[in-house]
Structure 1
Amino acid sequence: MTEQLLSASVASPPPVLDSIINTLAEQGWVIDRSLFTPQDIALLRDECVQHWRQGEFHEAAIGQASEQRRLSEIRSDSVLWLDEDNAPPAVAAYFAKLEQIRQAVNQSLFMGLVELESHFAVFPTGAFYKNHLDRFRHDDARTLSAVLYLNQDWPDDAGGEMRLYLDPECQHHLDVAPEAGTLVLFLSDRFWHEVLPARQPRLSITGWFRRHTGNVPW
């Protein structure tokens, strides 16, 4: 029954995609709270917690390839990369909905997105991620970032907001609470952002839509 409900939830593109695409085209970022159902989020949260309890996460690093390193003064979360080809039902439903976004973006905005890479992210109490862009120094394939939050009934005083800077000088920002079902999309090379310290464990899925480039990752 669960698999049937998940299949039904991603069977056809929802009308909300038009609103997402229009807003993304206008301002380069968009927040949606309707694409993922409470059931979708509950199943994803259960999946994330199960893998965390099994010790499958690893401390997140910064950089790429030979430059990759762990710098706890910059980020202190842990991650688990997701395999779309061997995904359990809840994660498969996530990939299916993000695929709808990829196709809609390509059709309307001609971004040339070809794939999605994603991981679960857990921010233990006190964890943070300093201000950064979602682009590697020598690889500009990441084009559109997608962050989906899995935290039910997140208290107002629990911290953990994503601070999205709306200008290159980082003078103006929007704080997004990591409430369950909130999806944030933004152009990876344009918007600096950070995760403020969380006062309780914080769960999410972070993804990046990639395009083909001629650059090499080293």
Structure 2
Amino acid sequence: MIKPFWEDDEVLDTLAQRRWVVIDDAFDERFIEAMEQAVPWQGAASDLFHRAAIGRQAEQQVIREIRSDFIHWLDRGDTEAVIQYFWQQVDAMMEAFRRAFFLPINYYEGHVAVYPPGAFYKKHLDQFEKTSYRQITLILYLNKDWQEQDGGALRVYEADGSHTEVLPLAGRAVLMQSAEVWHEVLPARRTRKSLTGWFSCLPMEERFLGG
């Protein structure tokens, strides 16, 4: 269901040199359909989802002027077959990134994100200000039949000050260097769905706190 794009030298080279890369047709419709059945996507109307916050642990705050999506954190203990399958793919990616970039990556955290119509996430880095744990960001887009007029593009800021807009098309994946790539999510005009997560180098005590 998910293609092993993390084994593609061109993908890894682009991630290293440009700091981010888009992979189209990274996974198929079977994965999207299985995720839709495993997770209730109603966002605000679902007991599983809560308003996304910014900041880390005790410093977290819900600031709707900065981000207005809803999230549900993934759990390795979830017995849904597609969730277990996804964790297996995450572990394979983690091993590939360790080898390719000589990073002591030892942890992945991720969530399902739902952007209702009008929702956005202002320009930001995925690395927290006071830590350097997050190394690589992974995003998988689950939006069937998405059109340019639906909005919700990922705007990625290049090192030279220019920017590129990436539509959240079904089957599309994005990898980014978490501490280097500034980006934002532009307002969506229909419900926008994704899997977003981070490969991190966590000290043992942080891994314990993070579960």
TM-score under structure 2 normalisation?
0.88
Say which is worse superposed, 63-72 or 208-217, in terms of deviation: 208-217
Q: How many residues align?
A: 206
Distance change in 2, residues 1:97/1:19 (3 Å): farther
- Asked whether 1:128 is paired with 2:138, we answer no
- Asked whether 1:28 is paired with 2:19, we answer yes
Letter in structure 2 aligned against 1:22? D
Alignment partner, residue 106 of structure 2: 114
Q: CA deviation at 1:40?
A: 1.1
**Preserved CA contact (<8 Å) 1:84 1:92:** yes
Alignment partner, residue 151 of structure 2: 159
**Preserved CA contact (<8 Å) 2:41 2:114:** no
| 3-state SS of 1:175 partner | strand
Alignment partner, residue 179 of structure 2: 189
Unaligned runs of 5+ in 1: 1-5
TM-score under structure 1 normalisation?
0.85
Q: CA deviation at 1:87?
A: 4.2
| 3-state SS of 1:131 partner | strand
Q: CA deviation at 1:90?
A: 1.3
Aligned-residue CA RMSD in angstroms?
2.3
2-structure distance, mates of 1:46, 1:160: 23
- Asked whether 1:207 is paired with 2:191, we answer no
**Preserved CA contact (<8 Å) 2:107 2:202:** no
Q: CA deviation at 1:213?
A: 4.7
Letter in structure 1 aligned against 2:168? P
Say which is worse superposed, 35-44 or 199-208, in terms of deviation: 35-44
**Preserved CA contact (<8 Å) 2:140 2:196:** yes
Deviations 1:28-53 (A, max 9, x none): 21111233122112211333335746
Say which is worse superposed, 82-91 or 139-148, in terms of deviation: 82-91
